[in-house]
Amino acid sequence: MTGQTLAASGLVLTYSEAGRGRMTAVNGAALDARPGSMTALAGPSGSGKSTLLYLLSGLLRPDAGSIRWNDTDLANLSEARRDAWRRENAGFVFQNFHLIEEMSPEDNVLVGGWFAQWSVRGLRRRAGELLEQLEVPRERTKVALLSRGEQQRVAIARALLFDPPVIFADEPTASLDVAAGGNVVSVLRRLAGEAGKTVICASHDVDLLDVCDHVVRIEHGKIVAPQVVQKAAAERVS
């Protein structure tokens, strides 16, 4: 698989906490994520896995370290330039979906086009195709009428609108039942294996971890186990 690796090294992020002073959320993390691969950031709640995901996507800026994509180091970019990088290169699936319940599934997918000042007319066909591929009921007029699993698939379609090479997903199966969670895992696996995208997830879902190419285990903001190939491609569930 050819393409650009998202490579991070020496990432540090600290924050202030009342009565405790300066605390460390991420401490010296490093990661290489390649096209066509699915990487999980695993660890208990509060371990720093979601914070690391936000750093890798440019939603947060580290206090130290680098996050390289081609000749670009996201750690050195302003917030506005990190936003521009994400519009061109990344899709993000948030844990709480951040959908607008009174809007249709299609219009929710198109929201990113409005903010990017793209012609929504030109994107509407792609939004419809994505929803069809992800088996979201098109007849539903409001996202509020969808199940949580269907809502998560709308969120994935929104992240794919501009066909980004990198997909970030924060606890993508949290609060979903077993069947809906399994569907989301299969979608993410196909994005890596068939579409050749770089998929990075923060999760403690063992079913999701089981289909990843690499699992990076994090405790107290530190990586405590290296990336490990979980199973051969021929053994994965597609």
Distances (CA, A) of 228 to 145, 151, 153, 201, 215: 40, 31, 28, 15, 6
Question: What pLDDT was estimated at residue 238?
Answer: 35
Radius of gyration of the chain (CA): 18
Helices (H), 135-225: 148-159, 178-193, 206-210
Question: What pLDDT was estimated at residue 18?
Answer: 78
Rounded CA separation 6/4 (Å): 7
The residue ranges of every structural domain in the chain are: 6-229
**Token pair for residue 44?**
């208990």
- For 76, the 3-state DSSP assignment is helix
Question: What pLDDT was estimated at residue 231?
Answer: 46
Question: What pLDDT was estimated at residue 207?
Answer: 94
Residues 6+ apart with CB under 8 A from 20: none
Rounded CA separation 234/217 (Å): 24
For residues 145 and 103, is the Cβ–Cβ distance under 8 A? Answer: no
Question: What pLDDT was estimated at residue 233?
Answer: 40
Percentage of the chain exceeding pLDDT 70: 90
**Token pair for residue 175?**
């609060």
Q: What stretches in the chain show pLDDT beneath 50? A: 1-2, 229-238
Domain 6-229 has CATH 3.40.50.300: yes
Q: Which residues make beta-bridge pairs with 229?
A: 214
Q: What is the pLDDT of residues 119-129, one digit of tens each?
A: 666 788 889 99
Rounded CA separation 72/145 (Å): 42
Q: Tell me the backbone φ, ψ of residue 69, rounded to 5 degrees.
A: -140, 115
Would you give the distance in Å from CA 25 to the centre of its chain?
Answer: 19
Question: What pLDDT was estimated at residue 226?
Answer: 61
